[in-house]
Amino acid sequence: MSSQIPRPKLNSELAQVHQALPKIGMSTKEELESYRQFLGSSFSLEDAIRGREDVLSYEERDIPGPAGPMRATIFRPKNETQRIEETPGVLCMHGGGLVSGNRFVGVIGMLDWVQALGATLVTAEYRLAPEYPQPAALEDSYAALQWMSNHSTALGFNPRKLVVCGGSAGGNLAAGVTLLARDRSGPEVCAQVLMYPLLDDSNQGHSVQQFGDIAPWTGLNTIDALRYALGKNHEHADMYTVPSRATNLYSLPPTFIDVGEADAFRDEDMAYAANLWKSGVSTELHVWPGCWHGFDAFVPDAPISLQAGAVRLNWLKKVLESS
């Protein structure tokens, strides 16, 4: 991972924030705790709903998980006017490399869906590595999907319009949960939205060489986080915890994938989209010029972030209209 390798320029709209982002390692417990504190202080419920208090309502509750209750937040529009048959449900898995973060990491962009689509959105905590290696986070997320589907009437949405989404590690979990739902004959997933997802555990590819040295997520972060989550020899890796290992992507729902041009995950995300196409899955892929990992979560008001959000929303509207 060298800055000497030729690479596209970073997007100037994001430069001010990017220059201020810390580059934090994870190789020790102390460093990991520092990263957890960094993400925890960057994303909160207050940040998520700021400016939306008049249009969004939220409820916090514990939902059942494989190892005990999981804290969840449920967002709804304050003035619900559409019929339940028209209302989508969205399960959002948060980012943080499977080792950090809370249920509000990256949720700001998805709250636009609550407003625009009248959606019910659920975001839940899951167990983190290294205290709880995979498949703990995956099974927690699948339990949240089952709970949401089973309580669709009480939550006020149509279970045939159930969407899973997530960014970064949340995208990893969203992809894994979608595969699990297919193979376990679980809840029907209408669509999956994967934002710069972590899909592969090899940490290879030219994009890693180009951009694995920049904040807020480096190639070394990936190595350490996957060692914590998958085990020293990645003994906990399979097609559900590492979706790029799946050789059969048939019968998955319509999929949206986007990633920044300056994201170390770029190449693995493009490869996953190609494999979905090969399996006959309707897939839309966007690569945002000069954007680094998590750009829209850290700079939600940047023009490129707003553009990315609008494209995701428009895609989701079309998919939901046909479901």
Write out pLDDT tens, residues 133-155.
Answer: 999 999 999 999 999 999 999 99
Whether 189 is in a domain gets the answer: yes
Contact present, 219 and 282 (Cβ < 8 Å): no
pLDDT at 19 over 60: yes
Q: Is the dihedral of CA 24, 29, 30, 34 positive or negative?
A: positive
- Among residues 286, 96, 110, 252, the alpha carbon closest in space to that of 243 is found at 252
* pLDDT mean over 269-297: 98
pLDDT at 1 over 90: no
* pLDDT mean over 223-248: 97
Q: Which domain holds residue 308?
A: 24-322
* pLDDT mean over 75-101: 94
Whether 151 is in a domain gets the answer: yes
pTM over 0.75: yes
Q: How far apart are CA 226 and CA 133, in angstroms?
A: 9
**β-sheet bridge partners, residue 93:** 166
pLDDT recorded at residue 80: 77
List CB contacts of 218: < 8 A, sequence separation 6 or more. Answer: 1, 23, 212, 264
The CA angle 110-112-118, to the nearest 5 degrees, is 100
Whether 217 is in a domain gets the answer: yes
Pairing of strands 162-167, 89-93: parallel
- Work out the mean pLDDT of the chain and round it to a whole number: 96
Q: What are phi and psi of 120, to 5 degrees?
A: -95, 125
Q: How far apart are CA 90 and CA 87, in angstroms?
A: 10
Q: How far apart are CA 3 and CA 224, in angstroms?
A: 21
Per the listing, tokens 């916090």 go with 60
Write out pLDDT tens, residues 174-231.
Answer: 999 999 999 999 999 999 999 999 999 999 999 999 999 999 999 999 999 999 999 9
**Which helix H or strand E contains 62, and what residues bound it?**
strand 56-63
For 152, the 3-state DSSP assignment is helix
Contact present, 256 and 189 (Cβ < 8 Å): no
pLDDT recorded at residue 124: 98
Contact present, 124 and 71 (Cβ < 8 Å): yes
Task: Name the domain count of the chain.
Answer: 1
Whether 1 is in a domain gets the answer: no
Dihedral, CA of residue 176, residue 182, residue 186 and residue 189, to nearest 10: 80
Per cent of the chain over pLDDT 70 is 99
Which 8-state DSSP code applies to residue 12?
Answer: G
For residue 252, the one-letter residue type is L
pLDDT recorded at residue 82: 83
Whether 209 is in a domain gets the answer: yes
Annotate 58-85 with DSSP letters as a single string.
EEEEEE--TTS-EEEEEEEESS--S-GG
pLDDT at 25 over 60: yes
Query: What residues are annotated to the active site?
Result: 168, 263, 293
CATH number of the domain that residue 128 is part of: 3.40.50.1820
Whether 11 is in a domain gets the answer: no
pLDDT recorded at residue 3: 53
Whether 7 is in a domain gets the answer: no
Whether 5 is in a domain gets the answer: no
